[in-house]
Structures are given as structure tokens and as C-alpha cells.
Structure 1
Amino acid sequence: MKRRIIFFISFLFIFIKSNAQCAMCRAVLESEEGQTAAEGINDGIVYLMAIPYILVAGIGYFIYKKYNSLKK
């Protein structure tokens, strides 16, 4: 089970490419000639978005483990 969770999280970070820009950021960055700044902004937004999900998943995991240890 633990390996599946680690694989799923790794899959999300490595293989999924998202466009996570707001409309105003997209308009400004698309007007540039080079797309390197837009890609950097996208990556930064995705990383910032992932942190709360990782924290909630970690807290949920510890609660799950604590609950199961109390059952035994």
C-alpha cells in the first residue's frame, strides 16, 4: 500500500504537465516572445499548489495509523 501511494505521488509530480496560470498571468506571459518565463511560472504555481495536498495527506496518514494502532 505504501509503495502505491509513493508511486502515485511521484506520477503526479513527474508525468503530469499542467497549465496552472490565472487569466491575467497567462495574458501577460503569452505576449512575451520566449515561453521560458511562462513555463517557470507554471512550475512554481504547481509546486505551491501541491504543498497543501501533501500536508493534508500526511496528516491523514498519521491519523489513520493512530486509529489503527488503537484498534489492536
Structure 2
Amino acid sequence: MFHKKVSLFLFLMVFTVKSSYSQCAMCKAVVENGDVSMAEGVNNGISYLMVFPYLLIAALFYTLYRYRKQTKN
């Protein structure tokens, strides 16, 4: 069963990679045609959008850790 899930995951990853390249065409055009400050703005925006999912996951793990610690006592 585990082998089938891993095979399905790898199969989906291989065939969805090509379509994911097309999602960044506008960002690439802005960076190529803009100046340095515009490229830094795009990078800062990407970093800003990337931070929040990690913070949510960290808060979830911290909450689970506290819950498990309280239930053991």
C-alpha cells in the first residue's frame, strides 16, 4: 500500500512539473524589464508571502506540543 502511494506521488510530481513553470511568466517579465529596486520588491513580496504558511505550521506544532504536554501530566 505504501509503495503504491509513493509511486502515485512520484508520478504526479513528474507530470505536474511542466505546468508549474508557466505560473511565473509575469514575475519573470517584471524582473527582466525592470530595475534593481523592482526586482528587490518582487523578492521581498515572495518572502513576505512565504513566511505566513511557515508561521501557521509552527503555531500548529507549538499548540500540539503544549496539548500533549498537558495531557501527559
TM over 0.5: yes
The size of the alignment, in residue pairs, is 50
Gaps of 5+ in 2: 1-23
Q: Give the TM-score normalised by the residue count of structure 1.
A: 0.59
Aligned position for 2:58: 57
Instruction: Name which one, 1 or 2, has greater alpha-carbon Rg.
Output: 2
Structure with the largest fraction of helix: 2
Structure 1 gap ranges (5+):
1-21
Which runs of 4 or more aligned residues in structure 1 lie more than 3 Å from their structure 2 counterparts after TM superposition? none
Q: Shift of the alpha carbon at 1:31? A: 2.1
Cα distance in structure 1, aligned partners of 2:30 and 2:53: 27
Structure showing greater relative contact order (alpha-carbon pairs closer than 8 Å, 6 or more residues apart): 1
TM-score by length of 2: 0.59
1:36, distance to aligned residue in structure 2 (A): 0.3
**1:1-72 paired onto structure 2 within 5 Å:** 22-32=24-34, 34-72=35-73
